[in-house]
Structure 1
């Protein structure tokens, strides 16, 4: 026996054992319990001094069925961490004051979610800054450090005067809601609605709107800058930060949809309004009047420009987003990235240009565009990074992850780039990177547990119209080239979305690889990161090119990888992926077992039960009473007579996007057709299964149902 001791990325020693010249490694199986041990990093914020950063660490506890977030302080030189907000409460959204002496954050330790301040330089305990009904979220400091802007939920109803002081402690929320609706009996559970959009994702809105407030942190005085029946930030299709102060602190820009019925509109617009202290000055002005979706306003450092991300086509939520520049002096707007065939994900000012990321062939690549020339430089390819933050020395702080490693904080020093690599070829995207230093080590949690995960492997094949289509393959843990493995074929939602080489917690492919499946993930028509035309080709054609891409992709992997057992294949997906699994159920018998999570079964009932109507209106060019045939053409319920593959149906009662009617109807149809089927129903979950206990049940039920039928 020979012991080999070597350094692992400069952080710790790793010992491998070599027996008779062959490296022997402990192969511990990837499990749900291991997944829940990950301390998830998000929202890093650089201290103005540039030596420290605050970030959010989130832990999921299935035993207690709790999710808790805390704020950590990170020394960027040493990598040392310490907890700034210990306790049983959850804390998030850390924001440094401009002078770095205070840390503002959101906490649920008292009065719901409110803003708290930690005196960082002087030391001492955190103190509560906001109180009152509606809580507070998404805080932003004014440049002078004396004011903050934040969002608060406000009841907008002619029946409610805003006074919540006399509400009884018992049944407080019920009485408040009854007063909101003007019910004659305050103990009634009724709701009375007169217009759309009255519920969203997983909750009834109860006539609440998100409003933008400004507060003087010295006096406590605050004002609602956006009173009325509208949401700031918008109820949907917004960005990571949709209101910001101007560098002079005398104006604020925010995103709001001004249309009377937001359920049928994507018209999120950029508004600006003057402010004096906490008082509004003049009337708000809409500076983006295209009718399409605009978001993420950002002032230039010198205040000359206001940038934002803008789409072109009204009503289309998946349109390409470009950077737009509003000249505050002339009032004229110009556009960047006209010839850049990707959609901007996030961006930030950098001198005479912007750093930005964009989905790119299964990754999030980093670019820079010049405001002077419009030229674009690409810095990374084959790398997934997000949450970009500028550091005082010009470096970039970011989080990075891949399918084997959860997110860690990194620092990049961008050097030379290349012209954008946009062409989709028969080859997988190349790997290109810059000088990068990893600062945290949360991502090695599986390595520390002795769990060795395989990387995602890219492949490209010819899909519909003979176009190149990209996918990922994940080999099972302990892979043996001489064996045959069953295949799990996962289909993504959206449909205007994509599989990425990142660490996913809901449909984690490593968990299924741990059960000795080959996992295949394909980005068919409709996927993002392959050019806007490729994304657009899903609209009105759900069971057409996309289905053909998927089936040709399945043919490709079966013909190419001999270790896949083509007689034992499962398909699974959620949302649009669930629709596609339902479509597969009526159109092919090549799968042994199917899993449909919150998938669309009847396009007509879906369109009148869902809440964001603009989506169906765009996809079908209207509602069913306007174009009936469009909804029937690709509706799985029209092919129930062909259903025969064993199927697990997963449905959340609180899913208002793909409503409970779809899952119940699908399960009923399967039972009527005597198809072996099972319904996994969550009364307290929406579109996603988020509670740790329910997540565990989800994984185990999906695993067991597939295992029961894939070899039958």
Structure 2
């Protein structure tokens, strides 16, 4: 068994108790098919004196991760309830060895990303998505205060608090970024809530770069819900002009769309090339409640696709949007979304870009390294004809609707992507070629589900904008 857990585990997967005797670690003690279908990691306590190990979280069937002790020896960790569901609501659990308390269960919209014990050990700071951003919160430790957990939001604004670095006297050091600026460290005054920039690593570089404007909009969906949409405008935006516009499709599918700063899907860079960016917080994103987050699973080709169309249709009504120059872009689930939109857009889009997108659900189910994900998201396997949920899911595969494709498409695929393996991009490209559609296949043999090397990142950016220049500008 592995600790750290594969493939993403690190030193957050183990911690010593302050007593110096007990080590708590994370492991998924399963094998074979059971291992592949499960997300049930547990916290195990190893006694260095006796050599004995006990399971601290045996009753919970989902993820138990990120154990951390306070100075009093109380343990906190992150927990999801359901086995096989990697995007379940994630809560903070605390235990004194006898009693366990869920500190964040009372807030349906709270999905905890990370946390840090306070120096006094009577409260916990944590980060969670809210209203299209990542913000900092505090919750009291109910086991210490002997009161019900009370959650307090400590920061607010159009930025992300992406990490909690440390607590100092009456302040926290946090990492903060937004769509215009990469991460810098800030000091957050706990008494006033004021944030003061602590590092200025990127000031000289950004002094030469114009900022883009980001704007929140709320769009009514086809089922009469209100959906947050980020709109990003080019520097020097002139509402009297018309701009080509890109619909950005977020991956995940259950990944929050926030004020993040990506070195690949960089909205500041995209907008600075003269594009308006439309980025909807469509169905399947945390930060808007459990129901909203779960409405993508087992229905990839349903309401979520309509959410994308609602977003682009609403913004395209503006006189400064050139309706004749709309494109759709995205990676992973976003790449799937592009493939799905290619058969449903009814002439809205002039071009598409899909990176590591899921094209054929059956072959994806048979080749992905994340079997638990596919099993949950599709609702089961494709050969069980009595499983109506799974049958509906597999019927929504983009490969079933190729006859409706008619729009230029750039397909990007990593050769070491085991999450969405290479045959997904190859099948989509071959179908486009056989249909005579203008298409290009960018194959990066030494990249996985992301683009991690600087040289490959340059190739990616150049090909991305070259394609847009050819097909949209």
| TM-score, length basis structure 1 | 0.62
Per the TM alignment, residue 384 of structure 1 is displaced from its structure 2 partner at its CA by: 1.0
Distance in 1 (alpha carbons) for counterparts of 2:203 and 2:235: 17
Distance in 2 (alpha carbons) for counterparts of 1:481 and 1:308: 49
Distance in 1 (alpha carbons) for counterparts of 2:150 and 2:304: 33
- Which stretch of structure 1 is more off in the superposition, 457-466 or 397-406? 457-466
> 1:241 maps to which residue?
12
Check conservation: 1:297, 1:308, Cα contact below 8 A.
Answer: yes
What is the RMSD computed on CA atoms of the aligned residues?
Answer: 1.6
Secondary structure class of the residue paired with 1:482: coil
1:379 aligns with 2:379: no
1:402 aligns with 2:178: yes
Among residues 24, 44, 47, which one is paired with 1:274 in the alignment? 47
Secondary structure class of the residue paired with 1:337: coil
Rate the CA distance shift 1:524–1:239 in 2: closer, same or farther, 3 A.
farther
Which deviations, in whole Å up to 9, do the C-alpha atoms of 1:428-474 show, x marking residues without a partner? xxxxxx212211112324433x2111132111111142111111111
Check conservation: 2:234, 2:271, Cα contact below 8 A.
Answer: yes
Among residues 403, 423, 439, which one is paired with 2:198 in the alignment? 439
1:566 aligns with 2:320: no
Distance in 1 (alpha carbons) for counterparts of 2:204 and 2:231: 23
Distance in 1 (alpha carbons) for counterparts of 2:412 and 2:270: 18
In the TM superposition, what are the counterparts of 1:318-467 in structure 2 within 5 Å? 318-328=87-97, 330=98, 332-341=99-108, 342-350=110-118, 351-372=121-142, 373-382=148-157, 383-415=159-191, 434-448=193-207, 450-467=208-225
Distance in 1 (alpha carbons) for counterparts of 2:304 and 2:9: 27
Among residues 591, 608, 628, which one is paired with 2:349 in the alignment? 591
Check conservation: 2:187, 2:196, Cα contact below 8 A.
Answer: yes
Check conservation: 1:237, 1:317, Cα contact below 8 A.
Answer: no
Distance in 2 (alpha carbons) for counterparts of 1:391 and 1:512: 36
In the TM superposition, what are the counterparts of 1:250-269 in structure 2 within 5 Å? 250-261=21-32, 262-269=35-42
Check conservation: 1:600, 1:662, Cα contact below 8 A.
Answer: yes
Select the structure of larger CA radius of gyration: 1
In the TM superposition, what are the counterparts of 1:27-42 in structure 2 within 5 Å? none
Per the TM alignment, residue 573 of structure 1 is displaced from its structure 2 partner at its CA by: 0.6
Unaligned runs of 5+ in 1: 1-229, 417-433
Check conservation: 2:325, 2:349, Cα contact below 8 A.
Answer: yes
Distance in 1 (alpha carbons) for counterparts of 2:154 and 2:370: 36
Check conservation: 1:257, 1:269, Cα contact below 8 A.
Answer: yes
- Which stretch of structure 1 is more off in the superposition, 672-681 or 508-517? 508-517
> 2:457 maps to which residue?
695
> 1:115 maps to which residue?
none
Aligned residues: 456
Which deviations, in whole Å up to 9, do the C-alpha atoms of 1:250-283 show, x marking residues without a partner? 111111011223221101111111125xxxx332
Check conservation: 2:165, 2:175, Cα contact below 8 A.
Answer: no
Distance in 1 (alpha carbons) for counterparts of 2:202 and 2:190: 23
Among residues 482, 494, 500, which one is paired with 2:240 in the alignment? 482
In the TM superposition, what are the counterparts of 1:651-666 in structure 2 within 5 Å? 651-666=413-428
Per the TM alignment, residue 237 of structure 1 is displaced from its structure 2 partner at its CA by: 6.4
Q: Which has the higher helix share?
A: 2
| TM-score, length basis structure 2 | 0.93
Check conservation: 1:238, 1:296, Cα contact below 8 A.
Answer: no
Distance in 1 (alpha carbons) for counterparts of 2:20 and 2:243: 61
Distance in 1 (alpha carbons) for counterparts of 2:204 and 2:304: 37
- Any runs of at least 4 consecutive aligned residues in structure 1 with deviations exceeding 6 A, and if so which? none
Which deviations, in whole Å up to 9, do the C-alpha atoms of 1:209-230 show, x marking residues without a partner? xxxxxxxxxxxxxxxxxxxxx1
> 1:630 maps to which residue?
392
Rate the CA distance shift 1:455–1:443 in 2: closer, same or farther, 3 A.
farther
Check conservation: 2:378, 2:394, Cα contact below 8 A.
Answer: no
